[in-house]
A = this chain, B = another copy of it.
Amino acid sequence: MADAPAPEQSKSAMKKAEKEAKKAAEKAAKAAKQATMPVIGGKKTDDIIGITVSKADNFSQWYQEVVLKAEMIEYYTEISGFFIMRPATMYIWNVIRKWFTAEIEAMGVDETNFPMFLSAKSLEKEKDHVEGFAPELAWVTKAGDKNLEVPVAVRPTSEAVMYPYYAKWIRSHRDLPFRLNQWNSVVRWEAKQTTPFLRAREFLWQEGHTAHLTEKLAGEEVLQILELYARIYEEILAVPVVRGKKTENEKFAGGYYTTTVEGYIPSNGRGIQGATSHCLGQNFSKMFDITVEDPAEKGKHINVWQNSWGLSTRVIGVMVMIHGDDKGLVLPPRIAKIQVIIVPVGITKSVTEEVKAAHGAQLQDIKKTLLSAGVRTEEDQREGYTPAWKFNDWELKVVSYARRDTGEKGTIPIAEVGTKVPELLETIQKDLYTKAKASFDEHRVVVKEWEKVITALDAKNVVLIPFCQEPKCEDKIKDLTTTKHDESPDASVPQAPSMGMKSLCIPFEQPEPMAEGTKCLNPECQATAHSYVMFGRSY
């Protein structure tokens, strides 16, 4: 019974209708927490979700309240650093999973499932790799009441779990490309503070592991996958990202090079790593002895070129941070389980059963139209349809709607809901992306004078600076931009927050050609800059 006062209604009918609509909308809003257009035919109430702080005032608390109150996450109080992913989260993750699976299947990637435990022996084969992950490994040392002869670790990632078998399965260059992917959870026992979705001791992800004959073929796939990750952010989650390469300091432990999509959180100006696609080179294939006979030279064995690539539930946290507002969660239509909620309004105390039935039938018609137009539609049926409910005498000619993202209200003729609503959802999807993109574009600034770096960061920017790409210089830059807590503040100099900036990526798309002989921006560095590199405070 989606309806709203038509303009020709009398003032008193309007009042009555508004009161009814408000009541219905309150009911609906509860159900609509995750909807894109929560209310057709009702009003939004701003206080239902009960976010107690504004996004601008206390971003961190705002975020925690949103993911809790939108029923996406529950804290697992039994063991710290772990989170329960509730149905609202799993719906989004499954949309992403389904889309990505179809894309990689078309590329010829097969699904697999390896054990969750890792032997220390396999892990230790690649030195940088074990050093990168060792501090966060969870060790099983006991089964029942017996100590294990050899403790086993829960996988933090599966290179060392899988590659002994790649050596067995890859026998010839005709087995290449060899591509497997698995969806699972991994454990990294973080010492740092955990945050729902962004940093947890266990998280869901997919991890792809592939092998190729040449560096070139491996490199092509690295970028192909990176583009899929970028599309998940941009097309599905309406989140803009910058595509680029990680510096040596920030690349995957044991890999050859890492490509990344980097996002930006406007509320605090921080960069955030979105997903990474690594070329492992031949490092692992040498350690695990994964070779094929060179098709160009009989008898010569060559180590395969390997990639690994992963996307985790972190994507959901980034999306929440970017689109949410002071009223709570805002979901792009493509991942909203409920895209439209139909709320019956305008029912007065004097309705007959016949009229009520006719009204109900019309509501079902609207719902059917929307569903067959591919719009995920629900009606608010929870309690309240007592026999005392009555139907007023308005004609049911239009549905009114309220957009969750902008709050904008409008009406749509019932005859057109099947076309106008999908259009409106596409518009919302696009608008969310455009808005987020404008914000990222505005806050990604080229800085050519060292003195302006901190000011730019304080203004919630990420910066593009000429950089020599030397690991030690990168460490120095982080150091120079970090305020030590034991320093006594100098009132004449603007004091930076304690977090230094780190490199986010070397964007594939450079802001401008670099002038010949440009020096690295680090004042203590004398080297020539290679390119602009994106730095920022970061998650």
Contacts and interface: CB of A to CB of B under 8 A. Distances in A.
Interface stretch (A141-149, A238-246, A303-311, A523-531): A141-149
A362 interface: no
A152 interface: yes
Contacts of A382: 174
A142 B139 contact: yes
B137 A139 contact: no
Interface in A151-210: 151-152, 154, 161, 164-165, 168, 174, 180, 184-185, 187, 189, 191, 202, 204
A360 interface: no
Contact of A141 (B84, B116, B141): B141
A100 interface: no
Contacts of A185: 113, 116, 184
B115 A79 contact: yes
Contact of A82 (B76, B90, B115, B141): B115
A86 B178 CA distance: 13
A84 B162 CA distance: 9
A144 B191 CA distance: 10
A138 B134 contact: no
Interface in A8-40: none
If over half of A's interface residues share one DSSP class (helix, strand or loop), that class is named, otherwise mixed; here it is mixed
A144 B154 contact: no
9 contacts: A84-B113, A86-B112, A90-B113, A113-B185, A134-B144, A140-B141, A144-B189, A144-B191, A174-B382
Interface in A38-87: 74, 76-79, 82-87
A89 B111 CA distance: 9
Interface in A84-126: 84-87, 89-91, 94, 110-119, 121-122
Interface of A: 74, 76-79, 82-87, 89-91, 94, 110-119, 121-122, 134-145, 151-152, 154, 161, 164-165, 168, 174, 180, 184-185, 187, 189, 191, 202, 204, 382-383
B143 A137 contact: yes
A346 to B, nearest CB: 25
Given A134-B144, A144-B134, A119 B78 contact: yes
A154 B143 CA distance: 10
Contacts of A383: 174
A139 B136 contact: no
A117 B204 contact: no
Given A165-B74, A187-B116, A111 B87 contact: yes
Nearest to A190: B143
Contacts of A134: 144-145
A155 to B, nearest CB: 11
B137 A189 contact: no
